[in-house]
Amino acid sequence: MTVNGEPKLTCATFLSEYAPGPVRVEPLRNFPIIRDLVVEIGDFLRKLTTVKPWIVRKEEKPLSEGEYRQTPLQMDEYHQYSMCINCMLCNAACPVYGLDAKFLGPAAIALAQRYNLDSRDQGARERGEVLDDHEGIWGCTFVGECTKVCPQGVDPAGAIQRYKVKTALDSLKAIFVPRVE
């Protein structure tokens, strides 16, 4: 919810932080209000699914071969982004998400980055088709409010900027380095 004008995870917010008061509790910004403090999250969920926030594999190995193992370094690569709890506070704080109905929003982009950095995943190209667009990463103006309000320390703004750098470098490589297939 929005507490005294700031998106907050209210289950982890103490009234003592706001003493002696007053405290104003409102619904999350940037979402249609259903009633009282309840917001409609269908748009958030539709946008989230477009980035396929799950591990995508072209072929699964047989279960008899065991699981896909990772080193601690491979896990460290995406761990920060895996901490997202889909609370939507970052989208509520993002001015672009509030102004541009087509913008994916910081939550979806950070979760896409989580899976793109996972060594077990093979869906980065599919996600790239959604992310490398004005409605994806290029719509972000890097205000950084999404990162400030994240209760889990995910850093959605950092994920977006990191993906912008990767996309720009990949574009340059495509120009200067011939592709061998």
Please tell me which residue, 90 or 59, carries the higher pLDDT value. 90
Q: Which residues pair with 39 in a beta bridge?
A: 33
Between the two ends of the chain, the Cα-to-Cα distance in Å is 50
Work out the pLDDT band at 93, boundaries 50, 70, 90.
very high
Q: CA 96 to CA 16: how far, in whole Å?
A: 32
- The residues, any chain, with a CB within 8 Å of residue 132's CB and separated by 6 or more, are 138, 167
pLDDT at 180 over 90: no
pLDDT at 181 over 70: no
- Number of helices (H), then strands (E), belonging to the chain: the values are 8, 5
Work out the pLDDT band at 174, boundaries 50, 70, 90.
confident
Instruction: List phi, psi (to 5°) of 33.
Output: -90, 125
Q: Mind listing the pLDDT tens digit for each residue in 17-39?
A: 999 999 999 999 999 999 999 99
> What pLDDT score was predicted for residue 41?
97
